[in-house]
Structure 1
Amino acid sequence: MLFSALPDAQGLYDPANEADSCGVAMITDIQGRRSHGIVADGLTALEHLEHRGAAGAEPNSGDGAGILLQLPVELLRELVNFALPGPAPDGSNTFAAGICFLPQDEDARSAARARIEALTAEEGLEVLGWRELPVDPDGAGIGKTALGCMPHMAQFFVAAPEHGGVRLGGIELDRKVYPLRKRAEQATGADAVYFASLSSRTIVYKGMLTTMQLPQYFPDLRDERCVSAIAIVHSRFSTNTFPSWPLAHPFRFVAHNGEINTVRGNRNRMHAREALLSSARIPGDLSRCRRSAPRTPPTRRRSTRCSNCCIWVGAACRMRC
């Protein structure tokens, strides 16, 4: 599995059989006021969920921890060394950004980035740039197991081209970006990648970490300029699934606590109906709409599949989620 210490099938052991409850919390300002206090309170809530998470034989290799925030637009404008477009006339943000898990091998990483940039052009979008995301595994005290499968972290920035001096923003931009992310993640092998998020509205910081390690690993989260009106946090208890960096929560659309016991039936029914899927709201032809359907590899887990379906419904339907 990508960026995972999960062993391969051998003898009577099959990782497909690896399937209790995690810890989740949400902080929000009901008036929509962004502040670093919301971020800090979210991280405090996460620390108080340490007992709902778990670790392996090494107490510093966590099952997973993460936080979902509103995209800190002004912070990113100050941190990157390239221009980011201003807001749309309706005030929505006109660039999408997300954390990409890339290979540690430099050649494979370069190939992966080149492939993502080529796909961006194919989707009619513009690459704004990359930011090497600062992380501090030593300061966070990451364990040997988590370090052994740790991806290279980078932030990817993309936008829709201008038309009449105006760019798409918000949910409309996210609908354009969605097929790009799906196509980028379809590759397997040495240059495989995973996007923790890629959106004009939200961002996810997560990893194979303990709750205490998360803010130490990602310095962005300690920056006073990192502001949000919402914070969704998750402490993972990987009882029947081996931990990995991508399987940490929150996912792009879901932070889930519990089991989905009808997963095989759900997956089979979804696959059986993919040929019938269509939406005028996903850009491109019908085949592209179907390629963006929420098909999930068998190595992905139940909550991942649920999240993928929610994202597709949100992109394909009228809801402004």
Structure 2
Amino acid sequence: MPPPHALAHARKAYEGTTRTERAACGMGFVATTGPEATHDVVAMGVTALARLAHRGGLDADGKSGDGAGLMIQVPRGLFGANTAVAVLFEWDQRAREILAQALAAHGMGVADWRAVPVAPEELGEKARRDMPTIWHAVIPRPDAPDGEWEDRLYRARRQAERVAAAARVRLYIPSCSCRTLVYKGFMAGTHLAALRSTPSRATGPGCAPARPSCRPSCGP
């Protein structure tokens, strides 16, 4: 054990070097070793997310939080094979056109815009006041292998974000992928499943961040 004067010196040397802001995110991963996708894994992911609620901030209303989300495989039973899905939070009606144009610039199109069913009453008052319209853009597969397709989707998302920022169009794209789909919002993790109905029908591995590092400035 070092002498007391050594400890005092160590503490003194460390003063002022600690960051004033610290993240306290929690994250859980659930997967199956079998070849078949199963909803049981997603259900366990939802349960894990609820049990990580103590790692995120919670408003006095008991519902509004600083962000919770669930990442799952694209549910093929809902969207079909050979499709990617972009999740779009839309506060400005120009947002969909910006995303569609970015996808077109990378050789992809939008076959359908699916309005995501939600239950706003599951949100706290603060999040509900600024809640966006949430869309799933269903994107057919281009003539490209999986790796190139995923790369195109990423570049299209980044282009849409840059164009929107330059045009002062408020949007947020939680995910744009042929592999994974993200559900997230400004609520406690215990309320995510009730807000979004789709995860209850989804299958596949799940990842549950209690406080996602990338999220909109407000709204779910």
Range of TM-score over shorter length: 0.7 to 0.9
Structure 2 counterpart of 1:211, from 183, 189, 194? 189
Unpaired runs of 5+ residues, structure 1, are 1-16, 78-85, 87-93, 162-166, 239-243, 249-321
Say what the alpha-carbon RMSD is for the aligned residues.
2.4
CA distance in 2, matches of 1:113, 1:158: 13
Question: 2:177 corresponds to which residue?
Answer: 199
Partner residue, 1:54: 57
SS of match in other structure, 1:207: strand
Match of 1:148 among 103, 106, 129: 129
Larger radius of gyration: 2
Cα distance in 2 for partners of 1:47, 1:132 equals 25
Between structures 1 and 2, the one with greater strand share: 2
Mapped partners of 1:18, 1:153: distance in 2: 31
1:58 counterpart SS class: coil
Q: Would you say the 8 A contact 1:181–1:198 is kept in 2?
A: yes
TM-score (norm: length of structure 1): 0.56
Residue number among 40, 44, 63 corresponding to 1:41 in the alignment? 44
Counting matched residue pairs gives 197
CA contact (8 A) 1:52 1:237 kept: no
Query: TM-score when scaled to structure 2?
Result: 0.80
Map of 2:12 onto structure 1: none
Extract structure 1 runs of 4+ deviating beyond 3 A.
Answer: 17-20
Q: Which residue of 2 aligns with 1:21?
A: 24
Of 192, 200, 216, 1:246 maps to: 216
User: Could you tell me which residue of structure 2 aligns to residue 91 of structure 1?
Assistant: none
User: Percent identity over the alignment?
Assistant: 30
Q: Which amino acid aligns with 1:134?
A: P
Map 1:141-180 to 2 at 5 A: 142-161=123-142, 167-180=143-156
Partner SS for 2:65: coil
CA shift, 1:20, in A, is 3.5
Tell me, yes or no, if structure 1 residue 233 matches structure 2 residue 203. no
- Higher relative CO (CA 8 A, sep ≥ 6), structure 1 or 2? 2
Letter in 2 for 1:126: G
Decide whether the 8 Å contact of 2:69 with 2:212 is kept in 1: no
Q: Which amino acid aligns with 1:193?
A: L
Q: Alpha-carbon deviation of 1:38?
A: 0.3
Distance in 1, matches of 2:23 and 2:136, equals 32
Q: Write the distance in 1 (CA, Å) between the matches of 2:100 and 2:110.
A: 7
